[in-house]
Amino acid sequence: MKTRFAASILMAAVVGAVSGVNAAFAQNSNQAPLPYTTVDQPQFVTASEATFLASDDLLIGISQRGVAKAYPAADLAQHGVVQDQMPDGPIAVTW
């Protein structure tokens, strides 16, 4: 199943920070690493077509020279990274 991304949505992102966490304890060594699959050719839809998004979904957005793109944080968390193109060249988006 291809992941669909919404376009023409202004950036909305929430950044959180956790302080005082020891990296050795932050990872469970008994769990297998997630098999991330990079999205190399994202497909976009207009904001009005993005009915698969809820009003409280987090988005990572970018705008450059009249081109605006938005990437759902849940999809980024599942895939690890999206490799895309903007007017000035390639970008990598991660969450």
Q: Residues 45-69: what's their mean pLDDT?
A: 94
How much of the chain, in percent, has pLDDT values that exceed 70? 64
Q: Say what the pLDDT of residue 95 is.
A: 80
Q: Across the strands, what pairs with 63?
A: 68
Q: Contact 84/67 with Cβ under 8 angstroms?
A: no
pLDDT tens string 7-45: 323 232 222 223 333 444 445 556 666 677 889 999 999
The per-residue pLDDT for 33 is 67
What residues does each domain of the chain span? 4-16+36-94
Is pLDDT at 60 greater than 60 in this prediction? yes
Indicate whether 66 pLDDT > 50.
yes
Say what the pLDDT of residue 54 is.
94
In contact, 17 and 64? CB cutoff 8 Å? no
- Mean pLDDT (the chain, rounded): 74
Are the beta carbons of 76 and 94 closer than 8 angstroms? yes
What pLDDT does 51 receive?
94
- This prediction's pTM: 0.61
